[in-house]
Structure 1
């Protein structure tokens, strides 16, 4: 990697941490740059704009669903992979960065011109890679898309509930129910 690429990657990693801690709603690049030990000019040089930086931070911080689910051959594998995803967003390396996604999803309905496309892309980037997994398990197109949405959006919602309420026992039990439901059932062709 070039020195510019190294510096950019380092700034992006720091930006992800900063956004997870300080949020995006009132994000101004000058204070962020100061916290990151750089300048607003350098953030613009490396990322182009505030919105581009946020988009890259979301992309860099979300779990790689394709990678997590690529070895799924049956419903037992699907459950295991779903638990790996759940662990990543609740206790693992995605635990803090997923807060950025929650912020974008929360802002999209009230500031659609700024966040709607970004939020929709983030959701698609996590749901779409799971659709072929469900198809390979014998589910028809609509059922595959529905189950992929159920699993990803359900886990994301439970994770947010866990952060907000701190009710770990209830949420862990709900995650178990959700994962089993998303992996089980009849294979209906749609």
Structure 2
């Protein structure tokens, strides 16, 4: 018999897969629960609310930016970590789940009461871990924050473009241009 934590983790994994495939805009817990092999009551028991489930699905499905960039100490390491992130969101384990983040980001402007804080937090937790990396490479605070934003938001935008257009060759080349520009230390201020 599985423990409460195991059942919750299993439901969260299934929910992430479901949300990545079917979206969150018209999400209703009862039909989702049925597809997951459980009940709305159990989803509410484990997650509390529809919005809490979505928040946990986003947290569980986003790339581990802190882990990818933790040991970066030079521009070469930063570039390698950026390519690892790109690989994760386009071909790796994050390829499908990143779609949940795209949905929340696109819904935030039109449904700010429901999604704005969630979207802002999702962006923050991906950008913030890079700021100390850039500071450690000699960039001042504003430049470190700007470059972290450029790298994360740029790769996220290119990933979305790739999903929408399917133009892998163009997007892969654009990712290379972006990563090289965002990881160079040649233009830092003394």
TM-score, L = length of structure 1: 0.98
Residue in 1 that maps onto 2:183: 183
Write out per-residue CA displacement over residues 100-148 of structure 1, whole angstroms, 9 at most, x where no aligned residue.
0000000000000000000000000000011000000110000000000
Residue in 2 that maps onto 1:100: 100
Write out per-residue CA displacement over residues 31-88 of structure 1, whole angstroms, 9 at most, x where no aligned residue.
0000100000000000000000000000000011110001111101000000000000
Ranges in structure 1 where 5+ consecutive residues have no aligned partner: none
User: What's the CA shift for 1:186?
Assistant: 1.6
Q: Using the alignment, how far apart are the partners of 2:142 and 2:165 within structure 1?
A: 33
Residue in 2 that maps onto 1:34: 34
User: What's the CA shift for 1:7?
Assistant: 0.3
User: What's the CA shift for 1:187?
Assistant: 1.7
**Does 1:91 pair with 2:91?**
yes
Residue in 2 that maps onto 1:151: 151
Write out per-residue CA displacement over residues 138-179 of structure 1, whole angstroms, 9 at most, x where no aligned residue.
100000000000000000000000000000000000000000
Ranges in structure 2 where 5+ consecutive residues have no aligned partner: none
Q: Using the alignment, how far apart are the partners of 1:51 and 1:188 within structure 2?
A: 43
Name the SS of the counterpart of 2:92 in structure 1: coil
TM-score, L = length of structure 2: 0.98
Q: Using the alignment, how far apart are the partners of 1:38 and 1:62 within structure 2?
A: 25
Residue in 2 that maps onto 1:135: 135
Report the count of equivalent residues.
188
Q: Using the alignment, how far apart are the partners of 1:70 and 1:61 within structure 2?
A: 19
Q: Using the alignment, how far apart are the partners of 2:189 and 2:77 within structure 1?
A: 19
Residue in 1 that maps onto 2:165: 165
